[in-house]
Amino acid sequence: MQFGKKDTRAYVFLFLKIFTPLSFLLGLIGLLKKGNGYWPTTVFFLSIFLFTTVYLIIKEHIQFSKDINEQLKYVGTVTIVKKSGDNNCIIYTDSKELKKININSPSLFNQINVGDVLYLEIAKSSKFIFKLNKGDISIIKSS
């Protein structure tokens, strides 16, 4: 499983296609108030959106490093109670700690059915899946 590649592309897309034009539109607010100009206001909002985007990109890696350093993970069996019907690839479990798990691989998502009992090892903060077994068979290796 690739770590964070899909999310990074989504955040960069969000910044380039939404936040950048929005910054230029918000720059017009600088024209309405005395003392502020168009470019200082635009640069201000652009920098806020840029720092937010960078934070969102590195947040998963920081959480993963924290999980590895502190060795925090959930280990146990869960029962799948529901699957998302759209392209989100989310499974819902009967666990109190892991109510929903985002599966990044559609082929892996299709191998999991409602009612399946899965053994998993998953990082606590970053939700990175280390091991996912259906019975005695590891389904991460077969995806």
User: Can you state the angle between helices 38-70 and 5-14, rounded to 10 degrees?
Assistant: 170
Say which residues have a Cβ less than 8 Å from residue 20's Cβ, sequence separation at least 6: 46, 49
pLDDT attached to residue 142: 46
DSSP tag of 99: S
pLDDT attached to residue 126: 80
pLDDT attached to residue 68: 85
Please give the Cα distance from 3 to 126 (Å, whole number). Answer: 10
DSSP tag of 81: E
pLDDT attached to residue 110: 86
Q: State the pTM of this model.
A: 0.62
pLDDT attached to residue 1: 36
Lookup result for tokens 């606590």: 124
Give bridge partners of residue 119 from the DSSP assignment: 77, 133
Over its length of 143 residues, how does the chain's per-residue pLDDT go in tens digits? 344 556 778 888 888 898 998 888 888 888 887 767 888 888 998 999 999 989 988 887 888 888 888 888 889 999 999 998 777 788 999 988 888 888 877 888 888 889 999 999 888 888 888 888 988 888 876 44
Q: Helix or strand or coil: residue 93?
A: strand
